[in-house]
Amino acid sequence: MVSEWNEYSLGEIIELIIDNRGRNPKSYSDSGIPVIDNYLIASEGEPNLCNVKRYIDDETYKSFIRKYNRAGDVLLTLVGNGFGKVAVSPTEKCIIIQNTIGLRCKKNFDNSYLYFLLKNNRESLINLNRGAAQPSIKVGDVLGLRFKFPNYEQQKRIGEILLKLDNKIQLNRQTNQTLENMAQALFKSWFVDFDPVIDNALAAGNDIPDALQKRAEQRRALQTLRHSREGGNPESSVDPRLRGDDGVYQLPEAIRQLFPASFVFDAEMGWIPEGWEVGSLDRLIKLTGGGTPKTSIDEYWSGDIPWFSVVDAPNDSDVFVIDTEKHVTQLGIDNSSTKLLRVGTTIISARGTVGKCAMVANPMTMNQSCYAVNGSEGVSDEFVYYLLRYQVSDLQQRSHGSVFSTITRDTFKSISMPFSGGELTQCFSEVVKPFFNKILANSKNELELAKLRDTLLPKLISGELRIPEAQQQTEAVLTRGH
């Protein structure tokens, strides 16, 4: 019962504060021990170390750092726009330096429970802001916060229930990252590096242009490796959908035959596969603009049709946008320039934050700061998605605008590329579609898990919901996600 819970200040239950602020290394490395910067702490379990930008070496780690965080410590950001966010220190060795502290509980207090307690009370942390130029929190003020705690066993059980949901969310994200990397690597191999063309040329004994010799040598080495792995059998038991994704396994013969075995020189693009045509990006796609229903008319808003803006863009690894922050009505669509987009359409942000891409998972609309992009006849959805992802940096460089960077229809016309024809794009889609289907299923499951976690969290922390009920609901959702 909540009446049996005891109230403590955080200062009374914290055993160690990991505080390395002011200890900035003279230099950072491109690899080594990851530095957990503020942007990695997003109140979603452990920071994603795949997004780390700075590292330190072992020497600096051993001699320069005052205190070391360990797995399970609660990380709290103190300064900047993301102040007051919490995360769990990863199992991998890492450090915190600027604007972040770590908290470790005393015996009989559970770190996981503390993480969820602070996550549920971020408003209390935000209210500690003393910054003028930028938001900031003082450690002493954090330690002065008071909360009620159940006994240690209850803390542990509550933390375990909520961590199960957090861990499954993170596992889904990691799986999506792996699948998306595989699909992206396959696109690059086929349509950027032209690996199957090089392989065919090597097999046929055709000349390889000097500019492609380095890549050809890499392909020869990979073929040797593949041959040794497969014991000389080119039709090994490897799943055909995965062949070629890492450059090691042989593509099935039916797919290899879709690629030529030689290159021709193009004055604009250099060496391209024979038979492929060079043209502008806009010939492969169809663009649709968006719009915003009048915000002054209530009947246009709060309907059941998602309305996309750049704030709804997913992480690259999640590919799909499933739902949006704002929704419109059919009446709002009928009385504005926004359009209902079909499933499989790629949305790309075109103004301000240029180049964020998302594939539509459910019929939705979008605002005028984006383009909806579909393939021309015969050009597949998955190919269009990666085509835009690959061209994002070029689109960003060609964007213009005195106040906001903007890409226009003419920007798409200004980019040239070689194109194989629709049959190969359809083949690409058939290969990567199982990856996309799994990514979408994981993302939908992630939304369900997050919704349950965010529902259970305040009820468990306040004592409103009994632990057995929460366990039952958690197991039901986790079982459905398998």
Residue 479's CB is within 10 A of a number of other CB atoms, namely 8
pLDDT for 308: 98
Helix extents (H) in 246-366: 253-256, 330-334
The answer to whether residue 60 sits within a structural domain is yes
What's the token pair of residue 136?
């900031």
Q: Is residue 136 one of the residues assigned to a domain? A: yes
| CA terminus-to-terminus distance, the chain | 34
E-assigned strand segments in 39-90:
55-56, 74-77, 86-88
Q: Is residue 16 part of a domain?
A: yes
Domain membership of residue 138 as a residue range: 2-149
What is the per-residue pLDDT for 66? 83
CB 304: neighbour CB atoms within 10 A? Answer: 8
In a domain, 447, yes or no: no
Residue 27, classed as helix, strand or coil, is: coil
DSSP 8-state symbol, 1: -
d(CA 400, CA 398): 7
Q: How far apart are CA 436 and CA 346, in angstroms?
A: 13
* Domain termination site, one of 149, 176, 199: 149
CB 305, CB 269: distance < 8 Å: no
For residue 42, what pLDDT is reported? 76
Q: What interhelical angle do 152-191 and 195-204 show, nearest 10?
A: 50
Counting Cβ atoms within 10 Å, is residue 235 exposed (0-12), middle (13-18) or buried (19+)? exposed
Number of domains into which the chain is organized = 2
Specify the CATH number for the domain of residue 399. 3.90.220.20
Task: Give a yes or no: residue 12 inside a domain.
Answer: yes
The Cα 81–Cα 380 span in angstroms is 40
Q: Is residue 240 part of a domain?
A: no
Predicted pLDDT of residue 235: 46
- Separation in Å, CA 430 to CA 253, 255, 354, 385, 437: 15, 11, 29, 14, 11
User: Does 309 fall in a domain?
Assistant: yes
pTM (two decimals): 0.88
The distance of Cα 462 from the centroid of its chain, to the nearest Å, equals: 32
| pLDDT computed for residue 43 by the predictor | 60
Tokens of 333: 């669509």
Cβ atoms of 161 and 471 closer than 8 Å:
yes
Point out the domain boundary residue: 117, 133, 149: 149
Residue 156 in any domain: the answer is: no
- Helices 152-191 and 381-398, interaxial angle, to 10°? 90
What pLDDT tens digit does each residue of the chain (482 aa) get?
677 899 999 999 999 999 988 877 888 888 999 999 888 887 678 888 878 999 999 888 888 888 899 999 999 999 988 899 999 999 889 999 888 999 999 999 999 999 999 999 999 999 999 988 899 999 999 999 999 999 999 999 999 999 999 999 999 999 999 999 999 999 999 999 999 999 999 999 999 999 999 999 999 998 888 777 665 554 444 444 444 444 445 789 999 999 999 999 999 999 999 999 999 999 999 999 999 999 999 999 999 999 999 999 998 889 999 999 999 999 999 999 999 999 999 999 999 888 999 999 999 999 999 999 999 989 999 999 999 999 988 888 887 765 578 899 999 999 999 999 989 999 999 999 999 999 999 999 999 999 999 999 999 999 999 999 999 999 999 988 66
